[in-house]
Amino acid sequence: MMDDSVAKAREAIRDARSIAVLTGAGISAESGIPTFRDAMTGLWARFRPEDLATPEAFQRDPRTVWDWYAARRAQAADALPNAGHRALAALEEACAARGAEFILVTQNVDGLHHASGSRNVVELHGSIRRVKCFDNGHPASSWDPDGAPPRCLACGAMLRPDVVWFGEVLPGGALDAALRAAAKCDVLLSVGTSGLVEPAASLAFAALEAGAAVIEVNPAATPLTPHVTLALRGAAGEILPRLVV
Ligand code: BV8
């Protein structure tokens, strides 16, 4: 059963002229980064992610939000890409070699796709490795490590992670590129995402509407599962290497 689905998925990927991949926190789980909902442990156990990842939460309690992101930034800096990340980088190379289009759209802010050599990456929700100021968006390459939060050297405003918080619009260019890719791909691979956060969760449905094959890689079912072409039940680090030939 599973081997048969993996074989069908491999075939669809091999014959595709245009491939789009959407990833979520699940692909970084095997690198030791807890998924979004699992991340609320220890110091953060008393918070829902949506409570900390909003501009309102930052204005209400900037120190707690800054520290949460500082902890996640340190975790991301120590993490290494896993076999799942590497398989997607290899798939991009294989597509380039045969003249097929490839784009990787991620909801993750950990930077592990770039770290594993992927090139055509769209960070829909920003990156925890970048910092900017809250009032004017001035990028900051360095900051006072003891600041909680530190201040912008250009305007004195509080610094914040350069990620998209709930209630904030996504970077225009990123969302447009993702929607265009979903509308014209032959195959969309949805990897390690619960499909609960919009507008990212709509990309797979846009691809289905455009007639693409949608392949889901996830150890658990999601709201997308009943609609996909192939559901590969398992860990990204185990399944993705088997799809790339
Ligand atoms: C916006 C960055 C305009 C910060 C993030 C329509 C309907 C309802 C609500 C809305 C709507 N439109 C907008 C909203 C509001 C909101 C939203 O979607 N809310 C949800 C909670 C209902 N969306 C927004 O606010 C967006 N902005 O729309 O602006 C606007 C504004 C206001 C009102 C209207 C319009 C901004 C959303 C972006 C927020 N920022 N991240 C940070 O990281 O701190 S979202 C964040 O959560 C992640 O980036 C990701 O997107 C999401 C987490 O989801 P996943 O990545 O899927 O992770 P999760 O833990 O949920 O699941 C992991 C999965 O992996 C599981 O399925 C598991 O089974 C699987 N797994 C586990 N291990 C493995 C594995 N898979 C494979 N291998 C394994 N080994």
Query: What is the reported pLDDT for 183?
Result: 98
- In the reported structure, the alpha carbon of residue 195 is separated from the centroid of ligand 1 by a whole-number distance in angstroms of 7
Query: What is the reported pLDDT for 138?
Result: 96
- Whose structure tokens read 């990842």? 53
Query: Are the C-beta atoms of 189 and 20 separated by less than 8 Å?
Result: yes
Query: What is the reported pLDDT for 45?
Result: 66
Q: Tokens standing for 244?
A: 């790339």
Active-site annotation, residues: 125
Residue nearest to atom 50 of ligand 1 (CA): 107
Query: What is the reported pLDDT for 119?
Result: 98
Residue nearest to atom 52 of ligand 1 (CA): 197
Query: What is the reported pLDDT for 148?
Result: 84
Residue nearest to atom 71 of ligand 1 (CA): 26
Query: What is the reported pLDDT for 192?
Result: 98
Query: What is the reported pLDDT for 147?
Result: 85
Question: Ligand 1 atom closest to Cα of 192?
Answer: 76
CA dihedral of 42, 48, 50, 53, whole degrees rounded to 10? -20
- Ligand 1 binding pocket mutation candidate from 198, 216, 217, 218 (most atoms within 8 A of CB): 198
Query: What is the reported pLDDT for 120?
Result: 98
Nearest Cα residue to 58 out of 139, 153, 133, 142? 133
Q: Using only the alpha carbons of the chain, give its radius of gyration.
A: 18
Nearest Cα residue to 75 out of 119, 41, 126? 41
Query: What is the reported pLDDT for 18?
Result: 98
Q: Tokens standing for 123?
A: 């960070």
pLDDT, block means (10 residues), the chain with 245 residues: 90 98 97 79 66 94 94 95 98 98 98 98 97 96 87 95 96 96 98 96 98 98 98 98 91
Query: What is the reported pLDDT for 117?
Result: 98
Question: Ligand 1 atom closest to Cα of 24?
Answer: 56
Query: What distances in angstroms separate CA 115 from CA 28, 36, 109, 123, 173, one per listed residue?
Result: 12, 20, 12, 13, 22
